[in-house]
């Protein structure tokens, strides 16, 4: 009976008996109510200071700098910024003695403050120095941009953990030519800016593609911070006027061509496979065309369809074709046909058996 009740409890929620706790005294119930209230209050606690005309001068201009958001409760952009702003405040909560993050309802109780500081739109962000002098903030409204701004102005570090290093090389004016101008490399370069929304949207796909092409030593995916002043000569050289701007430098064209395709993982993979002559699959691994050569595929079909006495002629055709394609794949086509004609009996069957475990493994993995 006990087991039956247990299974009914976990598998059929509607069959669960209602639980009562008659042993709880009124005092204990009150204690739990207070505990729950304190817990909820703790969860909702914010590190963003709420300023108004009554406490503004107690915080601003008294020896500590800070960032202040002038907002309106009905403002859509303010609502979008709110969770990010909370994260910003959390990121500097460990240095509250050195910097503050605050907000003012400039359409309500703090309206006089909004008027005093010339607020005409929402949200308006202003940086107040330790002496109370203010300057407008015009950077990005994402966590990284706001945190970087506060760190620079206040000279303190946030608690935000740095992101893992990207899977692609970051080039600058001193390393660009070494990589992009290498005649043995095909190189895709994205010129981006830290504050650029489109760049941030593209970044996950770009990183996945870079990881996918890591095994291709002659097909490189790279990035340049086009907003960094030290790279201004590069952005001028390649006429970068907006972000992201993407250029492809092939082995035989180091002037570069503009990439005008889509910015999804599929778009980048298809473009690079075409330009680099690779067969990489979206998400990693290889496509079923990897290692395949159309000209040699045609000869292989001709070889296996030919009579035994005609196979040698096809082998000679393959040998002649090697003059224009000396790749390892081409040589393998030729070697299999040659061994089938002049090698030991059963060569092809042995070769297939040798490769079968590997083919099965890769088919299973990819």
| Annotated catalytic residue within 196, 205, 234, 314 | 196
280 secondary structure, DSSP code: B
| Annotated catalytic residue within 199, 202, 224, 240 | 199
Q: Is 70 exposed, middle or buried (0-12, 13-18, 19+ CB in 10 A)?
A: buried
Per the annotation, the verdict on 196 as an active-site residue is yes
- Other CB atoms within a 10 A radius of the CB of residue 93 amount to 14
In sequence order, what are the residues at sequence separation of 6 or more whose Cβ sits closer than 8 angstroms to the Cβ of residue 210? 166, 167, 168, 221
In sequence order, what are the residues at sequence separation of 6 or more whose Cβ sits closer than 8 angstroms to the Cβ of residue 365? 285
Report the SS3 class of residue 257: strand
Q: Which two tokens stand for residue 194?
A: 């830290």
Could you identify the residue written with the tokens 């992101």? 163
For the chain, strand residue ranges (E) read 49-51, 66-71, 100-105, 124-128, 134-136, 170-171, 186-192, 219-225, 245-250, 253-258
**Of residues 271, 319, 269, 270, the one with CA closest to residue 295:** 319
Could you identify the residue written with the tokens 């620079």? 152
Q: Contact at 8 Å (CB) between 209 and 221? A: yes
CA distance 350 to 347: 5
Per the annotation, the verdict on 199 as an active-site residue is yes
Q: How far is CA 31 from CA 23, 26, 28, 262, in A?
A: 14, 9, 5, 60
| Annotated catalytic residue within 75, 156, 321, 322 | 75
How many Cα atoms sit within 13 Å of 225 on the Cβ side?
9
What are the residues facing 192 on neighbouring strands? 225
Per the annotation, the verdict on 219 as an active-site residue is no
Q: Could you list the active site residues?
A: 75, 78, 196, 199
């Amino acid at each position: 009976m006990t087991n039956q009740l247990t299974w009914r409890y976990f598998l059929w929620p509607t069959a669960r008996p209602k639980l009562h706790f008659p042993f709880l005294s009124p005092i204990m119930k009150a204690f739990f109510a207070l505990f729950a209230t304190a817990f909820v209050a703790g969860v909702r606690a914010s590190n963003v200071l709420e300023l108004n005309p009554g406490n503004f001068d107690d915080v601003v201009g008294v020896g500590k700098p800070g960032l202040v958001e002038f907002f309106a409760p009905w403002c859509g952009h303010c609502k979008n910024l709110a969770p990010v702003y909370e994260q910003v405040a959390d990121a500097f909560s460990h240095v509250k003695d050195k910097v503050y993050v605050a907000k003012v309802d400039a359409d309500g109780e703090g309206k006089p403050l909004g008027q005093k500081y010339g607020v005409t739109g929402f949200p308006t962000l202003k940086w107040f120095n330790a002496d109370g002098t203010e300057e407008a903030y015009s950077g990005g409204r994402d966590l990284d941009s706001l945190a970087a701004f506060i760190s620079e102005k206040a000279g303190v570090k946030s608690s935000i953990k740095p992101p893992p290093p990207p899977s692609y090389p970051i080039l600058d004016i001193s390393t660009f030519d070494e990589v992009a101008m290498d005649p043995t490399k095909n190189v895709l370069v994205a010129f981006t800016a830290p504050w650029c929304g489109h760049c941030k949207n593209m970044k996950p796909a770009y990183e996945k593609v870079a990881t996918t092409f890591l095994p291709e030593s002659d097909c490189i995916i790279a990035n340049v911070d086009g907003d960094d002043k030290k790279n201004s000569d590069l952005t001028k050289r390649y006429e970068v006027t907006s972000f992201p701007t993407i250029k492809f430098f092939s082995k035989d064209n180091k002037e570069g061509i503009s990439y005008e395709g889509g910015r999804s993982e599929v778009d980048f993979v298809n473009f690079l496979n075409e330009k680099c002559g690779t067969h990489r699959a979206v998400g990693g691994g290889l496509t079923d065309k990897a290692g395949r050569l159309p000209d040699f595929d045609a000869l292989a079909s001709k070889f296996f369809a030919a009579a035994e006495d005609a196979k040698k002629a096809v082998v000679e055709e393959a040998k002649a074709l090697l003059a224009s394609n000396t790749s390892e794949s081409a040589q393998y086509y030729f070697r299999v046909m040659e061994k089938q004609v002049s090698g030991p009996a059963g060569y092809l069957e042995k070769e297939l058996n040798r490769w079968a475990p590997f083919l099965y493994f890769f088919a299973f993995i990819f």
